[in-house]
């Protein structure tokens, strides 16, 4: 079936907004133990302030108009509606670059870096390094649909995106970049569809790509925590021990949301679909916790940006389909075959405040790493937080690969 593409203007019907504001006005708040702040989840006083701002000061129509300054499109790929921004590069030979976001993100977190890549000359760069950038709402998120059948995990996303890039947009060779789920997606993308990829750039490398246990540790009577299925029982390498200790800490301190979304997503979805305040609490707490800026997180993420991201989940009623990425990938897992790796040239931008900071030797186990940078600052949302640095890293990595397009 041929891929069809149509221009898209974001235009939320007014009754959807009226319903949202009515729900926000009728928010029923819980009580809290005094002095807990953010230590047990969201700070209640902050949430009340955010919801009041959402009602009284935030202007969706203004933000909608800002979003519509970018060229939006809708594609039909095998009957699946995919939303994306397609920004043409300004240079003699722009390289197509497909950039994937994560959860609980949307495409808005990639908008800061977008002009730095498409128009490098206006941002201190060389027009020879220009990219033509395609930024989707990944499948199930925001304006992109999700297939109705079970079993559509993260390993099935790349085939849809590759079809969009090649059959839909005519790019037979292109690069990809991803963080969070976008970083996860680079693995099946590079392994299953290498023929169209010039290079892979990633800044997040989570577990679950393969079995990393020693043979003597593969005892069915050993109890393993969720998310640690493939972890060594006692890593002998100090770098790997540090990595898996960070993974362990993530699962213990932050992993409850993930466990719920993997195993019982529909239960959670009922509450998040009914309450915009509940949706905001569930998502904003993660933005604050994962960015590493603590109480200064609104200096990194302006309040209008936070709410616009929430709006893209709410007005499309896509929270339930977004978290299906967790459950379908959990119940229908994928990993690299034992002893194999992704041979597409790969760049890694490693940030110290990532949820589980990347260890180079582990990245090299799974990818053909030809470009690697350890950065001194930055974390999980580096694509926004460290946009200038990430743009330069992308330019450096892809510069010698452009001749292959």
pLDDT at 86: 98
**Which of 72, 86, 157, 380 does the annotation list as catalytic?**
380
Catalytic residue among 119, 129, 162, 180: 180
- Take residue 376 and report the two structure tokens written for it: 């001194």
Residue 373 is predicted with a pLDDT of 97
Give the confidence band of 213 by pLDDT, cuts at 50, 70, 90.
low
Output the pLDDT for position 221.
Answer: 59
Mean pLDDT score, 386-395: 98
Encode 232-254: b = buried (16+ Cβ within 10 Å), e = exposed: beebeeeebeebbeebbebbeee
pLDDT at position 217 is 66
Residues 307-318: what's their mean pLDDT?
98
Q: Count CB atoms within 10 A of the CB of residue 124.
A: 10
Is the pTM above the cut of 0.85? yes
What confidence tens digit (pLDDT) does each residue in 331-372 have? 999 989 988 999 999 999 999 999 989 999 999 999 999 999
Domain boundaries, the chain: 4-28+39-210+256-404, 215-251
Q: Which listed residue (146, 161, 171, 326) is catalytic? A: 326
Res. 47 pLDDT band, cuts 50 70 90: very high
Q: CA torsion angle for 363, 136, 289, 113 (degrees, to 10)? A: 80
Q: Supply the pLDDT for residue 227.
A: 65
Sheet holding 4-8, edge to edge: 4-8, 72-77, 80-87, 131-136, 95-100, 174-178, 197-202, 342-350, 367-374
Residues 160-176: tens digit of each pLDDT = 999 999 999 999 999 99
Catalytic residue check, 375: no
**CATH topology assigned to domain 4-28+39-210+256-404:** Rossmann fold (3.40.50)
Give the pLDDT confidence of 274-308 residue by residue, as tens digits.
Answer: 999 999 999 999 999 999 999 999 999 999 999 99
Beta bridge partners of 8: 72
- What is the pLDDT at residue 131? 98
Q: Pairing mode, if any, of strands 174-178 and 131-136?
A: unpaired
H or E stretch including 176? Answer: strand 174-178
CA distances from 35 to 250, 290, 292, 348 (A): 24, 22, 21, 41
Bridging pattern class, strands 174-178 and 72-77 = unpaired
Residue with tokens 């450096």: 396
The SS3 of residue 28 is coil
Give the pLDDT of residue 11.
Answer: 98
pLDDT at 237: 85
326 a catalytic residue: yes
Average the pLDDT over 116-127 and give the result: 96
Confidence of residue 311 (pLDDT cuts 50, 70, 90): very high
CA dist 264 and 328 (Å) reads 11
The per-residue pLDDT for 267 is: 97
Question: Is 380 a residue of the active site?
Answer: yes
The answer to which of 74-88, 241-255, 265-279 has the lowest mean pLDDT is: 241-255
Q: Which H or E run contains 135?
A: strand 131-136
pLDDT at 226 over 70: no
Residue-level pLDDT at 188:
96
| Residue 69: exposure state from Cβ atoms within 10 A (0-12, 13-18, ≥19) | exposed
Using the structure block, give the residue that is written with the tokens 């616009």.
Answer: 308
- The values of phi and psi at residue 17, to 5°, are -70, -40
Average of per-residue pLDDT values in the chain: 94
Asked if pLDDT for residue 223 goes beyond 60, the answer is no
């Amino acid at each position: 079936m041929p891929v069809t593409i149509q221009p898209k203007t974001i235009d939320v019907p007014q009754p959807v907004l009226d319903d949202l504001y009515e729900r926000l006005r009728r928010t029923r708040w819980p009580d809290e133990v005094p002095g807990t702040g953010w230590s047990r989840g969201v700070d209640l006083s902050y949430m009340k302030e955010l919801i009041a701002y959402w009602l009284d000061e935030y202007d969706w129509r203004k933000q909608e108009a800002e979003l519509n300054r970018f060229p939006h499109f809708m594609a039909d790929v095998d009957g699946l509606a995919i939303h994306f921004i397609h920004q043409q590069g300004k240079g003699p030979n722009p390289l197509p670059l497909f950039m994937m976001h994560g959860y609980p993100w949307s495409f808005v977190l990639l908008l800061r870096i977008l002009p730095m890549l498409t128009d490098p000359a206006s941002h201190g760069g060389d027009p020879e390094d220009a990219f033509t950038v395609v930024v989707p709402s990944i499948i199930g998120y925001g304006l992109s649909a999700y297939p109705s059948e079970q079993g559509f995990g993260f390993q099935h996303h790349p085939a849809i995106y590759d079809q969009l890039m090649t059959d839909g947009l005519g790019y037979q060779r292109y690069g990809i970049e991803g963080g969070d789920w976008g970083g996860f997606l680079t693995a099946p993308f590079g392994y299953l569809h290498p023929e169209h990829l010039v290079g892979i750039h990633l800044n997040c490398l989570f577990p679950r790509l393969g079995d990393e246990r020693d043979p003597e540790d593969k005892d069915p009577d050993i109890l393993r925590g969720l998310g640690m299925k493939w972890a060594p029982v006692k890593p002998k390498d100090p770098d790997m021990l540090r990595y898996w200790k960070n993974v362990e800490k993530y699962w213990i301190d932050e992993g409850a949301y993930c466990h719920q979304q993997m195993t019982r997503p529909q239960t959670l979805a009922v509450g998040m679909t009914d309450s915009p305040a509940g949706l905001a609490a569930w998502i904003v707490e993660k933005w604050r916790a994962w960015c590493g800026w603590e109480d200064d997180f609104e200096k990194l993420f302006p309040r209008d940006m936070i709410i616009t991201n929430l709006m893209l989940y709410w007005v499309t009623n896509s929270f339930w389909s977004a978290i299906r990425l967790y459950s379908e990938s959990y119940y229908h897992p994928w990993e690299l075959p034992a002893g194999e790796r992704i041979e597409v040239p790969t760049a890694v931008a490693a940030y110290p405040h990532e949820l589980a900071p990347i260890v180079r030797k582990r990245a090299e186990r799974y990818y053909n790493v030809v470009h690697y940078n350890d950065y001194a600052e930055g974390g999980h949302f580096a694509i926004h937080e460290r946009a200038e640095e990430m743009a330069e890293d992308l330019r450096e990595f892809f510069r010698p690969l452009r001749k292959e397009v």
